[in-house]
Structure 1
Amino acid sequence: MGTSAVDLGPRLAVALAALTVLAAAAGRLSGLGQDRPVAVAAVRATVQLAAVSAVLLVVVRSLVLSALFVLLMVGVAAVTAAGRATGLALRSAGAARRVGTAAVPVLVGAVPVVGLVLAGGTVPLRGEAVVPVAGILVGGAMTATSLAGRRLREELAVRRGEVEAALALGLVRRDAVHEVLRPAAATALVPPLDQTRTVGLVTLPGAFVGVLLGGGTPVQAGATQLLVLLGLLAAQVTAVWTTVELAARGRLLPDVPR
């Protein structure tokens, strides 16, 4: 079967520009005020993907370079998750500690899944396979960490008194945070759970479409997408669990009552 990948050329450039204008116009006309962020995000994505695509032409030829590139992904994911979870800028005091802490759920979520997939031989131990699979899982763990941390922070602002009351009743901080805040963190799992439940019925996610565009059969596309979805689900559940534990021990959010 021949490839049906997206054709590079003027038509692609026109389509991308039109999609950006459509998204920006919707952000403006809706009153959400997101026209500028949409445009900036589109330009950043274009520049970043062009640069990454050029780098990957070299990186994927070497397992060592591929591993280093994955570590770079983890670093960027940790910086992003730390900012989202704590609401603090990277330049503020204690950034190194926050980023290091945010890296823990990202790694705890992604590493076991990547290891399991590679050890089982499901994905070949080659750069062109390892980098995209690791990137998907690191990205999923980052999103779960960001959402769970942000929900914990927001819930703490509203229900701080309940946590303090639980502490006054004799509960240790970990148990007090679990009792009051853990249900809020679980909402970070709604997107991956909904995506997994509705796959094939509502959406055909990226891995499925990517395999088809690359010339694979629908069966191969379905198997690949199932592997990605279940791997993401495992990584994200573990990342949320770890985020809650770190917050309960006062290591992620700086203002958890003692």
Structure 2
Amino acid sequence: MNQGAVAVGPVLAVVLVVLVILAAAAAFAGQLGVSRAVVTASLRAVLQLAVVSLLIAAVVNSWWATAGFILLMLLVAAYTSAGRVGARRRMVLVLLPIAAGSLPVGALIVAAGTTPLTEIALLPIAGILIGGAMTATSLSGRRALDELRDRHGEYEAALALGFLPRDAALEVCRPTAGQALVPALDQTRTVGLVTLPGAFVGVLLGGGTPVEAGATQLLVLVALLAVEVIAIAVTVELVAGGSLSRPVSR
């Protein structure tokens, strides 16, 4: 067994069950209303990773399969973000900021030769970038739409002052939507001091040197900043332009 790998067996299963129970119990005790979500999310993770673990060997041996898997990642990310934003019927529009952030940055990383042009290297990079874009889109979209709803009076006041609808909406929703970047900024600022994120640990577990691990993590963190900034900017524009909105309650 690889000395840096997690031991797979009954002990791991027991530890995972205990951790899920602990998280759900803490959520229940704190009356956070997410106890069930903790359990269902954990179960989904188990099932999805089990399937991916079985399929990954076949996927990374074919460029077509790898491309298909990346497309699936994009669609699932858009579906998830659309649900979080409250605009499931606008899933196609939610796909725009996720793709606009992750695809160009991923292409730049590969074209520059900073990562090998192989299926096994491209797939995890794509997953990291798409995941970051999904989170940024969800957070910024929710904040922007919430602000327009809660501060509708300010929006109307801006219109009365002669602002165009897009500009009035931007005045209200852009400042708070930018807060969606806070998690990425904090992780980048504190990397190595507070956390050793996944890319760093993964390279070490794979036998790389600490320098190689640090370089890989730096690339990932800066790339994620670029991805998330682009995703947030596109999301805010879609909201301000009225393209991305929630269904009107009747």
Both structures adopt the same fold (TM-score exceeding 0.5)? yes
* Matching of residue 164 in structure 1 with residue 160 in structure 2: no
Query: Residues 84 and 142 of structure 2 are in contact (CA less than 8 Å); yes or no, is this contact kept in structure 1?
Result: yes
Which residue in 1 is equivalent to 2:77? 77
C-alpha distance in 1 between matches for 2:57 and 2:202: 18
Which residue in 2 is equivalent to 1:28? 28
C-alpha distance in 2 between matches for 1:71 and 1:253: 24
Which residue in 2 is equivalent to 1:229? 221
Show CA shifts across 1:6-38 (max 9, x none). Answer: 121222212212211211221122222332221
Identity %: 58
Residue 241 of structure 1 deviates from its aligned partner by 0.4
Map 1:91-240; keep pairs closer than 5 Å.
Answer: 95=89, 98-240=90-232
Which secondary structure does the structure 2 equivalent of 1:52 belong to? helix
Amino acid at match of 2:210: P
Query: Residues 178 and 248 of structure 1 are in contact (CA less than 8 Å); yes or no, is this contact kept in structure 2?
Result: yes
Show CA shifts across 1:91-133 (max 9, x none). Answer: xxxx2xx011000000100011100000011111111111110
C-alpha distance in 1 between matches for 2:207 and 2:181: 32
Amino acid at match of 1:140: G
Amino acid at match of 1:64: W
C-alpha distance in 2 between matches for 1:126 and 1:196: 27
Residue 3 of structure 1 deviates from its aligned partner by 5.2
Say how many residue pairs are matched: 247
**Root mean square deviation, CA, Å:** 1.5
Amino acid at match of 2:52: V
Query: Residues 109 and 234 of structure 1 are in contact (CA less than 8 Å); yes or no, is this contact kept in structure 2?
Result: yes
Over 3 Å counting, the alpha-carbon distance change for 1:122 and 1:164 in structure 2 is same
* Matching of residue 246 in structure 1 with residue 221 in structure 2: no
C-alpha distance in 1 between matches for 2:46 and 2:107: 31
C-alpha distance in 2 between matches for 1:191 and 1:225: 16
Which residue in 1 is equivalent to 2:56? 56
Which secondary structure does the structure 1 equivalent of 2:242 belong to? coil
Which residue in 1 is equivalent to 2:16? 16
Residue 4 of structure 1 deviates from its aligned partner by 1.4
Amino acid at match of 1:105: P
C-alpha distance in 1 between matches for 2:32 and 2:140: 24
C-alpha distance in 2 between matches for 1:167 and 1:3: 63
Query: Residues 3 and 215 of structure 1 are in contact (CA less than 8 Å); yes or no, is this contact kept in structure 2?
Result: no
C-alpha distance in 1 between matches for 2:40 and 2:171: 41
Residue 235 of structure 1 deviates from its aligned partner by 0.1
Unaligned 5+ residue runs, structure 1?
none
Of residues 176-185 and 25-34 in structure 1, the stretch that sits farther from structure 2 once superposed is 25-34
Unaligned 5+ residue runs, structure 2?
none
Query: Residues 145 and 239 of structure 2 are in contact (CA less than 8 Å); yes or no, is this contact kept in structure 1?
Result: no
Show CA shifts across 1:198-220 (max 9, x none). Answer: 11111111111111222222111
C-alpha distance in 2 between matches for 1:3 and 1:246: 48
Query: Residues 24 and 38 of structure 2 are in contact (CA less than 8 Å); yes or no, is this contact kept in structure 1?
Result: yes
C-alpha distance in 2 between matches for 1:255 and 1:39: 29
Which secondary structure does the structure 2 equivalent of 1:124 belong to? coil
TM-score normalised to structure 2 length: 0.94
Residue 255 of structure 1 deviates from its aligned partner by 7.3
